[in-house]
Amino acid sequence: MSKILFVSSEAHPLMKTGGLGDVSGSLPAALKRLRHTVRLVLPAYQQLKARAGKLKTIATLKLTGTEPVRILEGVMPDSRVKLWLVDAPGYFDRPGNPYLDADGRDWPDNAERFAAFCRVTVELAMDRAGLNWRPDVVHCNDWQTGLVPALLAREQERPATVFTVHNLAYQGLFPWHQFAALGLPADLWHMDRMEFYDRFSFIKGGLVFADQITTVSPTYAREITAPDLGCGLDGLLRHRADRLSGILNGADYDVWNPQHDPLIAHNYSASDLRGKRLNKAALQQRFNLPPADQPLIGLVGRMVEQKGIDLLLAAIPALMKEKVQIAVVGTGDKGFEAELCAQAKRYPDSIGYHIGYDEERAHLVEGGADMFLMPSRFEPCGLNQIYSLRYGTPPIVRRTGGLADTVVDATSETLAAGKATGFVFDEPTPEAMLGAVRRALALYRQPKPWQQLVTTAMAQDFSWDASARQYLQIYAKARA
């Protein structure tokens, strides 16, 4: 049995901005179910502390360059995974988003904040906080934790390190003067270590120094070793290819299951879909759409270029001719938000858009829409399409990353074989996306094959167990 220190900057249900939160909430729980010992380390954000229930101070650390930091111990609400919070109030006790201020700009002290988080994690990993617990493996996630493998690499008798890339496009890049102010070992500023085109790159700490690197789907693991999606790091990843693998994210079916989801108006299952039709009515109402008898396309996601929001915007005039309704929940780029808002005003009977982060609406879209759109330009894994499958809301996705690994395109062959689960298109263009939407609409008009598609989608199983076992193999390799 391994002892695993799982390090992340967010974890559902305590703090979540996207899929990283889902994964960090559910993978540690899956590892625990497989009888491994897990401690989850998170920053003690203000909101998170308020939601975490009972916490007790178990250590106080004084590190050079940071204020005294307390370690608070608690448990994750549902899974009872043991939780260690890094309580550095100057860095984390502030309202709102973990990474952005109220205007959507990066907090100006992000380098300092996450460097402090990483340094404290290293002390925990080396059992220097007086807690008498030493992990075998430290599993780090995304750039916010990238310094951990880099600093641990300098230690004698250290635990093994695994670094998971959830999104290579977010790298944690900072100018020299901010690096200099961190008081880190000067040799990290080197192109073979953490310097990247004259900036300090947190993610390189993970990519260069971790014993094993993973990413969240097999296809994305291949894609990031090529220039197109390599974000300038493909050379480094090719160099470390023998240490890189892709493990598909799992879904937490305790949270995402139409049979007992408390956030949808009516529960339902593959054998009785009446609730789904009622949810559609509830969804239309919630988004101020008339109860029209038209196919309803849902989209939930960060409103950023990655998600292909521009493709949706460009396709709206053509979509309106198809007589569909569209319901969107999402926040992000202010330009995309404003444009979609304008379209919703222009077509009030057809487009409903909720700007913001809203879990209830996100679940209702999964439970009430007829199909789910994810036209991502790239997608390391993607969780919403996996949830859509379980909710019988066939996904329309671009063939990239985890979308390619989880959705089976409806062709005459896959339909005949009972294998089709959604609609897949290749080119990142509005026309290609429209082609897939039109195929979906054509099938929707044929109740029998549509019903078959929905049933096959709902039967797909992406639960964590298999993926958690693959992580255990990676931990073993990292330790070897």
Summarize as ranges the residues that interact with ligand GLC (CB under 6 A).
18-20, 23, 166-167, 216, 249, 379-383, 402
Measured at the CA of 93, the angle between CA 137 and CA 165, to 5 degrees, comes to 35
Partner from ligand ADP, ligand GLC, none binding residue 357, C-beta < 5-8 Å depending on class: ligand ADP
**Among ligand ADP, ligand GLC, none, what binds residue 331 when CB lies within 5 to 8 Å by partner kind?**
ligand ADP
Encoded amino acid at 91, one letter: Y
Q: How far apart are CA 460 and CA 427, in angstroms?
A: 26
| Residue 142 is a binding residue for ligand ADP (CB under 6 A) | no
Cα-Cα end-to-end distance for the chain: 15
**Residue closer to ligand ADP, measured from CB, 141 or 343:** 141
**Contacts to ligand ADP from residues 272-301, by CB under 6 A:** 300-301
Residue with smaller CB distance to ligand GLC, 352 or 422: 422
Q: Does 48 bind ligand ADP (CB under 6 A)?
A: no
Among 79, 144, 325, 331, binds ligand ADP (CB under 6 A): 331
CA distance 188 to 95: 32
How near is the Cβ of 220 to ligand GLC at its closest, in Å? Answer: 8
Under a CB-based contact definition with an 8 Å cutoff, are residues 419 and 407 in contact?
no
Q: Which residue type sits at 47? A: Q
From the list 13, 18, 77, 218, which residue makes contact with ligand ADP (rule: CB under 6 A)?
18
Query: How many Å apart are CA 35 and CA 283, to the nearest integer?
Result: 40
Cα separation of 346 and 353, whole Å? 12
Measured distance CA(24)–CA(5) in Å, rounded: 12
Name residue, tokens 């401690």.
39
Please, what is the minimum distance in Å from the beta carbon of residue 177 to ligand ADP? Answer: 31
Q: Is position 330 an interface residue for ligand ADP (rule: CB under 6 A)?
A: yes
Q: Which of the stretches 143-151, 178-186, 323-331, 464-472 binds ligand ADP when contact is defined by CB under 6 A? A: 323-331
Q: What minimum distance in Å lies between the beta carbon of 241 and ligand ADP?
A: 24
C-alpha closest to that of 307 among 380, 219, 225, 246 = 380
Between CA 414 and CA 251 the distance in angstroms is 24
User: Which partner in ligand ADP, ligand GLC, none is near 216 (CB below 5 to 8 A by kind)?
Assistant: ligand GLC
Of residues 326, 329, 396, 410, which one binds ligand ADP by CB under 6 A? 329
Number of residues that bind ligand ADP (CB under 6 A): 18
Give me the residue whose beta carbon is nearest to ligand GLC.
Answer: 19
Q: Which of the listed partners (ligand ADP, ligand GLC, none) does 302 bind, with a CB threshold of 5 to 8 Å by partner kind? A: ligand ADP
Does residue 359 belong to the site contacting ligand ADP (CB under 6 A)?
A: yes
Helix 309-321 to helix 334-346 angle (10° resolution) is 10
Buried/exposed code over 90-128 (b: 16+ C-beta within 10 A; e: otherwise): ebbeeeebbbeeeeeeebeebbbbbbbbbbbbbbbbbee
Backbone angles phi, psi at 422, to 5 degrees: -175, -155
| Burial environment of residue 39 by CB neighbours within 10 A (0 to 12, 13 to 18, 19 or more) | buried
Tell me the closest approach of the beta carbon of residue 387 to ligand GLC, in angstroms: 11
362 interface partner picked from ligand GLC, ligand ADP, none, CB below 5 to 8 A per type? ligand ADP
Rounded CA-CA distance 144/115 in Å is: 8
Determine if 384 is a binding residue for ligand ADP (CB under 6 A): yes
Contacting range for ligand ADP; rule: CB under 6 A; set: 98-106, 170-178, 185-193, 355-363: 355-363
Helix 19-33, helix 464-479: angle, nearest 10: 80
With binding defined as CB under 6 A, does residue 347 bind ligand ADP?
Answer: no
Tokens 């996306």, residue located = 433
Decide: is 362 part of the binding site for ligand ADP (CB under 6 A). Answer: yes
Structure tokens at 115: 């460097």
From the list ligand ADP, ligand GLC, none, partner contacted by residue 422 (C-beta under 5 to 8 A by kind): none
358 binds, among ligand ADP, ligand GLC, none (CB under 5 to 8 A by kind): ligand ADP
Which residue type does 394 have?
P
Residues interacting with ligand ADP, by CB under 6 A? 18-20, 22, 300-302, 329-331, 357-359, 362, 381-384
